[in-house]
Amino acid sequence: MNCDAARDRLLTSDDPARPDADLSEHLAGCAGCRALAADLAGLEAAVRAYPTPATVVARRDAFLTTLAPAPPRPVRVRHIAAAFAALAACVIVAVAAVAVLRPPPPDTPVVARANPSVVEELVEWNLKLSEADEPADREKLVRDRLPDLQAAVESARLSADDRALADQLLAQGRKLGSGADPVDEAEVFHVLADTLLMKLDTSSADSARSVTLAKMYTEVVDRGVDRNLERAERQALKAEKQARVQELRKAKKKQAARAAALAERIPEPAREHMKGSKARPKAGNRSPK
C-alpha cells in the first residue's frame, strides 16, 4: 500500500483510530501517514467530546413540545392478551439472563483479563528493541515477547484509540526487530511522542492516567528520540538523512514547547514525571525504578 491509498483510506474511514491490518502495516513504516492518522483520531475524539450547546438543547425541547400527541388507540381484548404474552416472555428472558450472568461460585476459577497497562508494556518493548545494538538481540526480543504481547492485546479491555495504538506498536516492534536505522527510529518515536501528548491532553482529568502517559512520553523522548538522534549524529550520514535529522530537531523543539504548555494544565503528580516540566525532578533525585 502506498501513501496515497493509505491517506484515502484514512480520510474515508469510519474510525481512523482503528485501521485494518493492511493500513496498520503501512502506518508502522510511514511517519507521515502515522501523523495524519493521529491527527484524524484526535480531531474525531475532540468533536465527539464537545458538549451539545445549551441553545440547541433548548430549541430541540421547544420543538418537541409543539408536536401534537398521537390520539389514543382503542384497546382491544386481543391486544391485552398479546401484551400479557409479551410480558411473560420478558420474564422468562430475564430469569434466563440472571442465571447466565450470575457470578460464579467462589471455587470457580475466574480468567483474568489484561488491562490498558498492555500499552505501557508495548512501549517499553519497542524502546528495548531500539536500544538493542545487535541484530541477534533484537530478534530474540521479538521471538520471546511478541506472542505474549499479541495475546495480551487480544484479551485486553482497551478503548478504540488505545487498541489502534497497541496494534501500531505491535507492527512497529516487528519492524524494529529486523532493522536498526537510528534516523528512521528517531522519527518513529517522535510520532509516538506526539500521540502520547494528545492522549495526555484529553486525559488531564484522570490523575492516574495522566501520570502513566507523562512517564511514557518522557521515556519515549529520552530513550527513543534523543538516543537515536545521538546515534545518528555519530555516523557519517548522507545529505538526505542529515536533512531529516535537522527537520526532526526543529519538530522536536516545537513538540517540547507544546509539552511545556501542557505540563501547566495536567495534575501535579503527572507534571513531576513530564519531560520539559519545571516540576520534573532532576536526574540525580529520581527515585529508583
Average pLDDT score over the chain: 80
Characterize 43-57 residue by residue with b for buried, 16 or more Cβ atoms within 10 angstroms of its Cβ, and e for exposed.
ebbeeeeeeeeeeee
Distance, CA of 154 to CA of 170 (rounded, Å) = 12
Read off the pLDDT of each residue in 162-190 and give the average, rounded to a whole number.
93
Is residue 159 predicted with pLDDT exceeding 70? yes
Read off the pLDDT of each residue in 179-183 and give the average, rounded to a whole number.
89
Read off the pLDDT of each residue in 170-177 and give the average, rounded to a whole number.
94
Distance, CA of 107 to CA of 92 (rounded, Å) = 28
Is residue 94 predicted with pLDDT exceeding 90? no
Q: What is the pLDDT of residue 288?
A: 40
Is residue 52 predicted with pLDDT exceeding 60? yes
Q: What is the pLDDT of residue 23?
A: 78
Q: What is the pLDDT of residue 33?
A: 80
Answer yes or no: are the C-beta atoms of 18 and 164 closer than 8 Å.
yes
Is residue 37 predicted with pLDDT exceeding 70? yes
Q: For the chain, what percent of residues have pLDDT higher than 70?
A: 70
Q: What is the pLDDT of residue 284?
A: 44
Is residue 63 predicted with pLDDT exceeding 90? no
Q: What is the pLDDT of residue 286?
A: 45
The 10s digit of each residue's pLDDT in 226-253 is 999 999 989 888 999 999 999 999 999 9
N- to C-terminal Cα distance for the chain? 41
> Who has greater pLDDT, 49 or 276?
276
Answer yes or no: are the C-beta atoms of 146 and 2 closer than 8 Å.
no
Name the H helices within the chain.
Answer: 3-12, 21-29, 31-49, 54-66, 77-101, 117-131, 135-155, 160-176, 182-202, 207-219, 227-233, 239-263, 268-271
Lowest mean pLDDT among 66-75, 119-128, 147-156, 208-217: 66-75
Read off the pLDDT of each residue in 187-201 and give the average, rounded to a whole number.
95
For residue 116, name the pLDDT band (cuts at 50, 70, 90).
Answer: low
Q: What are the residue ranges spanned by the domains of the chain? A: 1-51, 115-283
Residue with cell 526487530: 177
The 10s digit of each residue's pLDDT in 8-32 is 787 887 777 777 877 777 878 788 8
The count of residues in the chain is: 289
Read off the pLDDT of each residue in 253-277 and give the average, rounded to a whole number.
89
SS3 annotation, 10-56 = HHHCCCCCCCCHHHHHHHHHCHHHHHHHHHHHHHHHHHHHCCCCHHH
